[in-house]
Structure 1
């Protein structure tokens, strides 16, 4: 059994997408990032960067052999761990494996952070700073273009459906909030709708509703302070 410490954000959805594809038993443990659950001592023990998702695998070597639980934080590391655990969605062939991993890291180092800053300055910042908004909307647009070009001659990012696709898809879901038009990226749009229609994707997003059934509310000043006012004092 895997405990998934989770909130329905793009990084959280990555992990439920994988788990729903593979059927690995898991239990959702809500981490309400708006009220500060990510700073609780018990959560920091498994996720020292005070970010979800994080997992605790209570059967890391399989039920036959047991072993001490393994905890993993950072969504990219969790996807690699789960892929290696299950032998699914990360190729064994060295060339195909490198292909999937480099696009996974493209997402965790580029698409996610840049789209996240886009969200912050366009949706949440109390001051609308044109320079910052233009910077991150334009960079998000560039990254969409990179992904669109990559998908011009292949069905999925690294050939077969893989953790590289699961990592990127949730960051494209809020494309309208990112001020991006999928009609400008036809290959990405085709890929996006193919993943959206996968039964495991549908189930993964439904799991998010079980944790936050009413969807994201308007952000309060208290939540804004929790999410955007963090310093080292929060994790000491």
Structure 2
């Protein structure tokens, strides 16, 4: 049996199945990227809830896995060369799992890099901008009398959504006919933006047609539906 006892994170969140990939996460837009991909691939894994509401990402055990103190992170007992691999950053994890399973990342080099560029676009633009708008619209920032920060992020979020709208013209998925990690990286963020953040009106989301249709296609996938709820939120 695989022994993960040398990893502090595994001592705080013990593995019931140490031979499986271990996921340490929370069902946020970044967290569900990995759980959706794991559900899509069927790769055996074990999910552990890291309660960000209780600052569990800042515990010594989690920081030993991710010194940046953010979910998601994984510990794969069967990493490259058969050795355990600890990995953080959702985009890096998506690339690793896609390559490990040979799925959701095109084999053709040009298409592969085109897919990766859209993953990076999500990480560098959509995630930060949507997240900041969520803060200034729904969370503590909503109480700020000065609405210029909110409006700044709303303007940029609207622009990014229209980049996606243009990309999806005539396409079912970001890469055309093939569903890839580019879609997986974005689904949770767009869903959360219009649902959880309730920011659709700020960016005239109802004026879009391609993005809502793409989102509906993605949310109809059974693996996406499962992944959006993994790991379970604390009771």
Please state which band the TM-score falls in when normalised by the shorter chain: 0.7 to 0.9
1:206 aligns with 2:221: no
Q: For 1:24, which of 40, 43, 51 is the aligned residue?
A: 43
The answer to whether the 8 Å contact 1:2/1:26 transfers is: yes
For 1:40-71, what per-residue CA distance to the aligned partner results, in whole angstroms no more than 9, with x for missing partners?
1111111111000000001124xxxx732101
Q: Any gaps of 5 or more consecutive residues in structure 2?
A: 1-19
The answer to whether the 8 Å contact 1:115/1:178 transfers is: no
Q: Secondary structure at the match of 1:29?
A: strand
Take 1:93 and 1:60, find their aligned partners in 2: how far apart are those partners?
24
TM-score (structure 1 length as normaliser): 0.84
> What's 2:12 paired with?
none
Take 1:133 and 1:202, find their aligned partners in 2: how far apart are those partners?
30
TM-score (structure 2 length as normaliser): 0.85
1:110-149 superposed matches below 5 A: 110-124=125-139, 125=141, 126-149=143-166
Q: For 1:156, which of 140, 153, 173 is the aligned residue?
A: 173
> What's 1:90 paired with?
105
Q: For 2:92, which of 77, 81, 88 is the aligned residue?
A: 77
Cα-Cα RMSD: 1.4
Take 1:155 and 1:105, find their aligned partners in 2: how far apart are those partners?
20
1:194 aligns with 2:217: yes
> Between Structure 1 and Structure 2, how many residues are aligned?
208
Q: For 1:33, which of 38, 52, 64 is the aligned residue?
A: 52
Take 2:234 and 2:173, find their aligned partners in 1: how far apart are those partners?
30
